[in-house]
Amino acid sequence: MKKSIFSYFTFYIFLLSFVTISYISIDSSFRRTIIGLSLGFINSYYAISIENHLIKENNLNKAVRKLEQQIKITDFLTTKSKNSFLDNIYFNANKIEKFIKSDQEYMYLSNIIKNLIEKDPKIYNAIIWDAKLMYLNKIDVKKILKRIDQAINLSPSSTEAYRFALDFTFKHNKQELFKKYCIKYHTSLLGSKHEKDNFSFFGSSSLGKFAIQIEPTSRDQEFYIIDGINLNKEIDYTVILKNPKDLESLNLISNFFPGVSIDVTKISIVNKENNNINLPLNRIYFSSKESFFQVNEGKIKIITTSKNDELINIKLDKQYKNISKIILKINFSRLNLTNYTCK
């Protein structure tokens, strides 16, 4: 009897396995789903393991070995070239890189950085990491500078490459190059940066645009995208409303890089009778999710600190009727990366 039950059980297991394998072989969509779920589980496992090695165990070596293991498995299951799972490997590498505290520890990342660049030679942070390794390995200065420039050319307004460029040129007493990188950092607008698990109204961090949200407390919210800003200049940024509105508050929404200074020097509004009204800045209430404020000679300085979307609420001193236009006079600039100025 037991033998008969075992035989039936074995037969049904075999039959179920056969049907499953056959279905996976025939249905490509189902096959991709199964593989995707498996790799998703693998990526989650490695992300959690690496984080535990770094935070709970304070063990950098284990974290690096675990990431090297993840690379081997994903290469085996997918392809050694660029693939959809590269983001997860880069995400974990970024965690490890942030944990590093010394030059010696940086060398542990050598193979991982090489692997990332082989898969995709245009990963911004991986190029910077490679430049740091070149410096530690005492590679020719010109080659290191060329590598830095490659990163900057990928995203001229991103911050990380400039931090290394300024440190590197300062150490080598390259004063003209220090000045060049410093000026470029303070004046570059092009480029953006998107980070995994960072969901943005704008799609990524950049210096290219911001938005004005009208009447954020009402049901019929309106968003006006201002595409294109100037750095280091006081400029009037004008929003023309679709229809005249009673205005009591508004939001300035952005996803600028951390370290941007937003100096609001004047806010004026125009009503449907075409009357221009200058609002008293000292009676307007500014608040935000994560930024900080300074008030200097009647100007409101807002300093961004986050890579997430920032919402700055501007509550007016009273309700203004039938407003058709809003004009914000703002000077956008970037805070210094070191205590040395470009001069």
Cα separation, 64 vs 93, in Å, equals 8
Helix (H) and strand (E) counts for the chain?
10, 11
Q: Is residue 126 part of a domain?
A: yes
Looking at residue 219, which CATH number applies to its domain?
2.60.120
pLDDT in tens, 272-313: 999 999 999 999 999 999 999 999 888 999 999 988 889 999
Percentage of the chain modeled with pLDDT above 90: 62
What are the beta bridge partners of residue 263?
Answer: 301, 331
Kindly state whether residues 120 and 236 are assigned to the same domain: no
Q: What is the pLDDT of residue 206?
A: 84
Residues 6+ positions from 148 with CB-CB distance below 8 Å: 128, 131, 161, 164, 165, 168
Question: What does the pLDDT read at residue 197?
Answer: 63
- Residue span of the structural domain in which 322 resides: 205-334
Average pLDDT, the chain: 85
- Of 20-34, 260-274, 312-326, the range with the lowest mean pLDDT is 20-34
Query: Residue 90: left if φ>0, alpha if ψ -120 to 50, beta else—which one?
Result: alpha
Same domain assignment for residues 149 and 225: no
Direct distance between the N- and C-terminal alpha carbons of the chain, in angstroms, rounded to an integer: 92
Is residue 95 predicted with pLDDT exceeding 80?
yes
Q: Are residues 120 and 260 in the same domain?
A: no
Query: Lowest mean pLDDT: which of 84-93, 119-128, 168-177?
Result: 84-93
Query: Both tokens of residue 131?
Result: 């430049």
**Segment 181-229, tens digit of pLDDT:** 999 999 998 877 666 666 677 777 888 899 999 876 656 678 999 998 9
Q: Is the pLDDT of residue 13 over 90?
A: no
278 with 226, same domain: the answer is yes
Average pLDDT over residues 88-93: 89
The share of the chain scoring above pLDDT 70, in percent, equals 83
What's the total number of domains in the chain?
2
For residue range 19-43, list pLDDT tens digits in order: 455 554 555 554 455 555 556 677 7
Residue 3, pLDDT score: 47
**For residue 11, is it within any domain?**
no
* Residue 6 maps to a domain: no
Mean pLDDT of 256-262: 93
- Regarding whether 218 and 167 lie in a shared domain, the answer is no
Mean pLDDT value across residues 155-178 = 95
Specify whether 61 is located in the same domain as 167.
Answer: yes
